[in-house]
Chain A
């Protein structure tokens, strides 16, 4: 039971690169906080700073309100699950799980009792006498988690714990970790590059890019009220479509057609160029959707239609001028996504690649961004006004990459 707080924490490597820049976030007691971002965004470094495996060059780390910046990992009372599991190959499962307790001088009967209890929780009872080399990937993963929970630490840290598992096992373990964390109620910081994991597991999610926190919010808020282009593009699969646009007198002119903005929203944005973000699910096959109130119809030739059984993805491209991709790459980074537009269609759609199709677009789903800074602009449905600031970030206003 603990709170974890980073205050303006910075990590600088010897060659001068800044891995984490003035990171401030507060993890509440019992919360499962996700650090997510593309590789190299500093999320793992941030986790290792909390662990005490990396020194914090500037700023502070507080656990339960107490500054622990200078303390060793041992003194911080934190357990960590490594991406590689990092089990001790020469020790049996029971010894692996009991190692920390043994070092702490806990009596043998007590160690045995606690190891057995953790093994029961994780379904490892039959494997206690095996060595890590004799276990499957999923079993090793359980042992690594068991090694952490046996200690009953104040905080759990997990560094991409599911990335070495196959897809099916990953979904299963994801659910188990969520359940386990809820049952134990231990404050947890969890690092992943997988936005699905972040959205499904996290109570709150901190999105990072280039060592800088982009937004800290609940998954639902992140999806709907993203602070900037990067967050918008990073979350969701397939990613958000980004199109150049221009607002004029309450209308949004897009390469795929003109869309009326909701009353008031147009005024809030003001006339001028924007970047419009449209999620694939805000498109639909007009033949399936029928006449939805407020929906805009667009005609386009489809390049390709992919069927995933339950849904279909139609790829098409906009006529006319495209976005300046260099600028987009700077604003959204890896989240910029492909240049074609992707629409998610109902499985009932009969559209095929090469056809000229009629699609509907719900204007309420459109998000507008400043083309210079990438910051979210108000408008396009939803109450975007407060989204530029992370709710309850505990560490001042959001810093945006310009």
Chain B
């Protein structure tokens, strides 16, 4: 390599042409090698931080593990144990219901808000900022705040609901009122985020195209259905994907607001691994299940619906 690089210029064009071409490809190969060398520390850190814990958890999930020792190989016993566990099944059902309902509501409301604030009106900047306030709260704080409002002795919402005669039982007592409350809090909190993502998408739609549709005789609803929605599809997919993955791993909201009376997959894992050490092995299996199901959800969105998380090649 060095000999090529320091070689003096050969006299005469013909002689110089051939080695120069080879030198180019060699230089490029060298460049790639340098690039790999420079990337390798970062890759090593990512492997150590992201992949090793996952691989270790997967490894543990096939063993009769406790907190203190790995134990012997038990194959899929931990998985079948988790799947047979009534608590796990309830947690799974809760998570599915919570994810589907809250993301659907957030999409509908977020879209309405995004369309609403995507136009010129007085005080638009203020409204856009105000809309984001619920999202800026830490989950634990908003969960606690809502828990107080829903609390059966001093909660303002409980009081109103009881005065109106909708229900007499405490809201934070049963599974379904708890679930509804959790969904509503999540919608309250993350709809702004959804609206913001969709608003960014709306702003990429050229005004000309909507005006062209108007000239073509489309009503406001037809313009929304036939032009805005299809062009917003990439933004919707990305927003729904992010929100679905987040809702699927819901933990803090359930843990804080429902006082452990409502299980999600993540609270099940936590209880198994951390709280009740007897369930450690089952907990790791459940953790792996959460991990795999998240990947499946992401793949369905990206491969199945064509969500483009990084770039967009339309137009």
Cα(A315)–Cα(B225), bound, Å: 59
Q: Least Cβ distance of B147 to chain A in Å?
A: 45
**Do A132 and B315 have beta carbons less than 8 Å apart?**
yes
Interface residues as binary, B234-271 with A (CB distance below 8 Å gives 1, 0 otherwise): 00000000000000000000000000000000000000
When the two chains form their complex, are residues A86 and B206 in contact, meaning their CB atoms are under 8 A apart?
Answer: yes
Q: Report if A89-B211 is in contact (Cβ < 8 Å); known contacts: A103-B216, A103-B217, A103-B222.
A: no
A87 touches B209 (CB 8 A): yes
Interface string of A100-112 (1 = CB under 8 A from B): 1001100000000
Alpha-carbon gap, A51 to B216, bound state (A)? 11
Determine which of B212, B215, B217, B313 lies in contact with A88 in the assembled complex, contact meaning CB atoms within 8 Å: B212
Beta-carbon contact of A88 and B213 below 8 Å: yes
How many inter-chain residue pairs (CB < 8 Å) link A and B?
Answer: 62
Are B208 and A104 interface neighbours, CB within 8 A? no
Chain A residues with Cβ below 8 Å from B213 are 88, 99
Residues of A close to B222: CB separation below 8 A: 103
B75 interface contact, C-beta 8 A: no
Q: Does the CB pair A80–B217 fall under 8 Å? A: no
Does B217 lie within 8 Å of A82, measured CB to CB?
no
- Asked whether, in the complex, the Cβ of B216 is within 8 Å of the Cβ of A86, the reply is no
Residue of A nearest to B210 (CB): A86
Q: B105 contacts the other chain (Cβ, under 8 Å)? A: no
Q: Does B168 contact A (CB under 8 A)?
A: no
**Pairwise interchain contact B217-A86, C-beta atoms closer than 8 A:** no
Q: Give every chain A residue within 8 A of B227 (Cβ-Cβ).
A: 88
Measured CA separation A89–B314 after assembly (Å): 7
B215: contacting residue among A51, A87, A132, A133, CB under 8 A: A51
- B214 surroundings in chain A (CB, below 8 A): 53, 72-74
The docked-state distance in angstroms from the alpha carbon of A23 to that of B51 is 70
Asked if B218 lies at the interface with its beta carbon under 8 angstroms from chain A, I say yes
Are A86 and B209 in contact, with the CB atoms below 8 A?
yes
Tell whether, in the assembled complex, residue B315 and residue A53 are in contact, meaning their CB atoms are under 8 Å apart: no
Q: Which of A144-191 touch B at CB < 8 Å?
A: 147, 151
Q: How far is the CA of A296 from the CA of B206 in the complex (A)?
A: 57
- For A83, list chain B residues within 8 Å (CB): 208
Taken together as a complex, chains A and B put the C-alpha atoms of A296 and B137 apart, in Å, by 85
Q: Which residues of B contact A78 (CB under 8 A)?
A: 215
Query: Across the interface, which residues of B come within 8 angstroms of A104, CB to CB?
Result: 217
**Closest B residue by C-beta to A150:** B216
Chain B interface helix/strand/loop/mixed: helix
Query: Is there an interface contact between A82 and B315, defined as CB atoms closer than 8 Å?
Result: no
Q: Is the CB of B231 within 8 A of A90?
A: yes
Write the nearest CB–CB distance from B131 to chain A, whole angstroms. 25
Question: Taking the complex as formed, is B230 at the interface, i.e. its CB lies under 8 A from any CB of chain A?
Answer: yes
Restricting to B191-237, which residues have a CB under 8 Å from any CB of A? Answer: 206, 208-209, 211-219, 222, 226-227, 230-231, 233
In the complex, A84 Cα to B217 Cα: how many Å?
Answer: 19
- Contact status B314-A74, CB under 8 Å: no
- Asked if A88 contacts B209 (CB within 8 A), the reply is yes
A79 to B214, CA, bound (A): 10
Residues from chain B with a CB closer than 8 A to the CB of A151 are 216
How far, in whole Å, are A89 and B231 apart by their CA atoms in the complex? 8
A89-B231, A103-B217 in contact; A133/B314 too (CB < 8 A)? yes
How many Å from the CB of A276 to the closest CB on chain B?
A: 44
Is A86's CB under 8 angstroms from B314's CB? no
Alpha-carbon distance A82/B314, docked complex (angstroms)? 20
Cβ-defined partner of B216 (8 Å) among A90, A100, A133: A100
Contacts of A90 in B (CB 8 A): 230-231, 233, 314
Question: A74 touching B217 by the CB < 8 A rule?
Answer: yes
A50-78 contact mask (Cβ, 8 Å, vs B): 1 or 0: 01010000000000000000001110001
Q: What are the interface flags for B72-111 relative to A under an 8 Å C-beta threshold, 1 for contact and 0 otherwise?
A: 0000000000000000000000000000000000000000
Whether the pair A133, B315 counts as a contact (CB closer than 8 A) is: yes
Residue numbers in B under 8 Å from A132 (CB-CB) = 315
Q: Are B211 and A86 neighbours in the complex by a CB distance under 8 Å?
A: yes
Nearest opposing residue in chain B for A76, CB measure? B215
Q: Which residues of B contact A86 (CB under 8 A)?
A: 206, 208-209, 211-212
**B212 lies within 8 A of A80 (CB):** yes
Q: Which of A79, A82, A103, A147 contacts B208 (CB 8 A)?
A: A82
Q: Contact at A79–B215, with CB atoms within 8 Å?
A: yes
Closest residue of B by beta carbon distance from A89: B315
Give B211's nearest chain A residue, CB to CB.
A53
Bound-complex Cα distance A239 to B271 (A): 84
Closest to A148 in B: B215
Bound state CA distance, A132 and B230, in angstroms? 15
> Within the complex, what minimum Cβ distance (angstroms) separates A163 from chain B?
14
Task: Determine the distance from Cα of A78 to Cα of B216 in the docked complex, in whole angstroms.
Answer: 8
Q: CA A78 – CA B214 in complex, angstroms?
A: 11
A-chain residues with CB within 8 Å of residue B206 when the two chains form the complex: 84, 86
Separation in Å of the A351 CB from the closest CB of chain B?
44
Distance in Å from the Cβ of B25 to the closest Cβ of chain A?
34
Looking at the assembled complex, report how far the CB atom of A154 sits from the nearest CB atom of chain B, in whole angstroms. Answer: 13
Among A80, A104, A133, chain B packs the most CB atoms within 10 A around the CB of A80
Evaluate contact between A82 and B230: CB separation under 8 angstroms.
no
Query: In the complex, what distance in Å separates the CA atom of A104 from the CA atom of B213?
Result: 12
How far does the Cβ of A300 sit from chain B's closest Cβ, in whole Å?
Answer: 50
**In the complex, what residue of chain A is closest to B212 when comparing beta carbons?**
A86
How distant is A121 from chain B, measured CB to nearest CB, in Å?
A: 19
User: A80 and B209: CB pair below 8 A?
Assistant: no
How distant is B235 from chain A, measured CB to nearest CB, in Å?
A: 13
B217 touching A100 by the CB < 8 A rule?
A: yes
Q: Which of B216, B219, B230, B314 contacts A147 (CB 8 A)?
A: B216
Which residues of the partner chain A approach B217 to less than 8 Å between Cβ atoms? 73-74, 100, 103-104
Enumerate chain B residues within 8 angstroms of A103, measured Cβ to Cβ.
Answer: 216-218, 222
CB proximity of B222 to chain A, nearest CB, Å = 6
19 contacts between A and B (CB under 8 A): A72-B214, A73-B214, A73-B215, A74-B218, A80-B211, A80-B212, A80-B215, A83-B208, A87-B209, A88-B213, A89-B314, A89-B315, A90-B230, A99-B213, A99-B226, A103-B216, A103-B218, A133-B314, A147-B216
The 5 A-B pairs at the shortest CB distance, nearest first, are namely A86-B208, A100-B216, A86-B212, A74-B217, A90-B230
Given contacts A53-B211, A74-B214, 7 further A-B contacts (CB under 8 A): A53-B215, A72-B214, A88-B212, A89-B314, A99-B216, A103-B222, A132-B315
A residues neighboring B (CB under 8 Å): 51, 53, 72-74, 78-80, 82-84, 86-90, 99-100, 103-104, 132-133, 147, 151
